[in-house]
A = this chain, B = another copy of it.
Amino acid sequence: MSLIVQKYGGTSVASLDHIRRVAMGIVNTKRKGNKVAVVVSAMSGETDRLLNMASQVMVSPPGREQDALVATGEQSCAALMAITLESLGHRSKSYLGLQLPLITDEVHTKARIVDLQTEILHDAINEGVIPVIAGFQGVSNNGNITTLGRGGSDTTAVALAASLKADCCEIYTDVDGVYTADPNICPKARHLKKISYQEMLELAGLGTKVLHARSVELAQKYQVPLVVKSSFGGERQTWIVNEEEVMENSVIKGVTLERNVSKISLIRVPDRPGIAYKILSPLAETSINVDMIIQNASIDGFADFTFTIPTTDLEKARVLVNKVAEEVGALEMLADNNIVKVSAVGIGIKTNPGVAARMFKSLSEENINIEMISTSEYRISCVIEEKYGELAVRAVHKAFGLDQTDPKHDGDNQNE
């Protein structure tokens, strides 16, 4: 008998009909002889509705109150799911983060889990009750309701699976798993049956929306096998497991396109020690995430300094950097949001020299100019002009042999 934690996202519980369909899936899992614990997000649209009300009242509502408000979305969905399971003849109870408790730090709207008690869930499961836990929320040591920020319900599910020592954590969402590229951009993208935690982390960090990085990190730390499935049915799924469980038949596991990228350049900055710190520290203080950084070789005591940031932070950054530019005596500041980042991700990169070269070659064959480059053990990223983004993804995808021969055919068998 397995113990399975199932997590259903907002689109999976978007209406009472959706909830009923999901509930029947839960009942099926139980009928097959498994024990089940369920984590739910808010019904899709509900969190936005609540946040919108708060922002109508106040531009930046206090985090404590915003959390108390938003947490009602998961609470009502959990209660409705429990009622639906009861209506299908199964005992069920809903639980808030506060009731377990799921203890977090006091950083409202993006709290981190510090402790999780699951005794009452164990008791419930052993009594034959299906517990339905409101995802995304917790309680601080001071008794305040907190929320876990983006991807919070995934994180709740993985933490519960770890604490309950569940056999696996199933994440139900509106896609049936992870692909070698976004099928909307690259029609020859293949579905992946298995991917390592580390590769998934890189993909999540690069904007792949299937799972949030925090939940993957937690799954890796506590060795929780994760599986991503579609809540709308179908047999396909992607397992996220340890590196050694993934057959490495391909160097690269996926190609991603990140659009939320802009770059800022400071031209002719007097090249003194501490200059990079001086330029970037105001951004760090404002929690603007600087990604790639390039400083070209110093000529006659001056250098050009370029870095990328999320486009959503561009206006804020422009103001800050303009001020610094004057202070350090730069000639001028240039900003460009007309760029994208194409990345290749895979555990094969660290052991295969020449992977980077192959990627650069595929781009040059399409006459695409590379403006910036960064690499890590599991990733190579190139910043290019925006208009070439989708073409670049297809070129790199093909160059690493990821294209499935027949786009209508599931390429899964090539990946095992």
- In the bound complex, what is the Cα–Cα distance between A284 and B128 (angstroms)? 34
Report A69-87 CB contacts with B as 1/0, cut-off 8 Å. 1011001101110111011
Q: Are A80 and B93 in contact (CB under 8 A)?
A: no
Specify the chain B residue showing the minimal Cβ separation from A99. B143
Question: Can you give 16 contacting A-B residue pairs, CB < 8 Å?
Answer: A16-B53, A16-B57, A19-B57, A57-B83, A57-B87, A58-B87, A65-B82, A65-B93, A68-B94, A68-B96, A71-B75, A72-B72, A72-B79, A96-B145, A99-B143, A120-B143
Q: Give chain B nearest CB distance to A312 CB in angstroms.
A: 24
- In the bound complex, what is the Cα–Cα distance between A65 and B83 (angstroms)? 6
Q: Please, which residues of chain B bring their CB within 8 A of the CB of A54? A: 79-80, 83
Return the contact of A58 from the options B56, B58, B76, B83 (Cβ within 8 A). Answer: B83
Q: Please, which residues of chain B bring their CB within 8 A of the CB of A87? A: 57-58, 61
Known: A83-B57, A83-B69, A98-B98. A76 touches B62 (CB 8 A): no
User: Which residue, A58, A76, A96, has most C-beta atoms of chain B within 10 A?
Assistant: A76
Verify if A259 is at the interface (C-beta below 8 Å from B).
no
**Beyond A61-B87, A69-B79, A96-B98, 14 extra complex contacts between A and B, CB < 8 Å:** A53-B80, A54-B83, A57-B83, A58-B87, A62-B83, A62-B86, A64-B93, A66-B83, A68-B82, A68-B96, A69-B80, A72-B72, A72-B75, A75-B75
Q: Please, which residues of chain B bring their CB within 8 A of the CB of A214? A: none
Verify if A50 is at the interface (C-beta below 8 Å from B).
yes
Q: Please, which residues of chain B bring their CB within 8 A of the CB of A65? A: 79, 82-83, 86, 92-94
Return the contact of A56 from the options B16, B79, B92, B96 (Cβ within 8 A). Answer: B16
- In the bound complex, what is the Cα–Cα distance between A66 and B86 (angstroms)? 12
Return the contact of A61 from the options B76, B86, B93, B98 (Cβ within 8 A). Answer: B86
Interface residues on A, range: 35 or more
Q: Give chain B nearest CB distance to A8 CB in angstroms.
A: 16
Verify if A318 is at the interface (C-beta below 8 Å from B).
no
Q: Are A57 and B84 in contact (CB under 8 A)?
A: yes
Specify the chain B residue showing the minimal Cβ separation from A93. B64
Q: Please, which residues of chain B bring their CB within 8 A of the CB of A86? A: 58, 61-62, 65
A binding-site residues for B, Cβ under 8 Å: 16, 19-20, 50, 53-54, 56-58, 61-62, 64-66, 68-69, 71-72, 75-76, 78-80, 82-84, 86-87, 92-94, 96, 98-99, 120, 143, 145
Specify the chain B residue showing the minimal Cβ separation from A69. B79
- In the bound complex, what is the Cα–Cα distance between A57 and B77 (angstroms)? 12
Q: Please, which residues of chain B bring their CB within 8 A of the CB of A80? A: 53-54, 57, 69
- In the bound complex, what is the Cα–Cα distance between A54 and B57 (angstroms)? 29
Q: Please, which residues of chain B bring their CB within 8 A of the CB of A72? A: 72, 75-76, 79
Specify the chain B residue showing the minimal Cβ separation from A64. B93
User: Which residue, A56, A58, A69, has most C-beta atoms of chain B within 10 A?
Assistant: A69
Q: Please, which residues of chain B bring their CB within 8 A of the CB of A76? A: 50, 69, 72
Specify the chain B residue showing the minimal Cβ separation from A62. B86
- In the bound complex, what is the Cα–Cα distance between A72 and B20 (angstroms)? 21
Q: Please, which residues of chain B bring their CB within 8 A of the CB of A64? A: 93
Specify the chain B residue showing the minimal Cβ separation from A132. B65
Specify the chain B residue showing the minimal Cβ separation from A72. B72
Q: Please, which residues of chain B bring their CB within 8 A of the CB of A16? A: 53, 56-57
Q: Please, which residues of chain B bring their CB within 8 A of the CB of A53? A: 16, 80
Q: Please, which residues of chain B bring their CB within 8 A of the CB of A94? A: 65, 68
- In the bound complex, what is the Cα–Cα distance between A84 and B82 (angstroms)? 33
Q: Please, which residues of chain B bring their CB within 8 A of the CB of A82? A: 62, 65, 68
- In the bound complex, what is the Cα–Cα distance between A94 and B56 (angstroms)? 18
Return the contact of A20 from the options B50, B57, B62, B99 (Cβ within 8 A). Answer: B57
Report the 7 A-B pairs with minimum CB-CB distance, sorted nearest first.
A69-B79, A72-B72, A58-B87, A68-B79, A61-B83, A65-B82, A72-B76
Specify the chain B residue showing the minimal Cβ separation from A86. B62
- In the bound complex, what is the Cα–Cα distance between A391 and B163 (angstroms)? 69
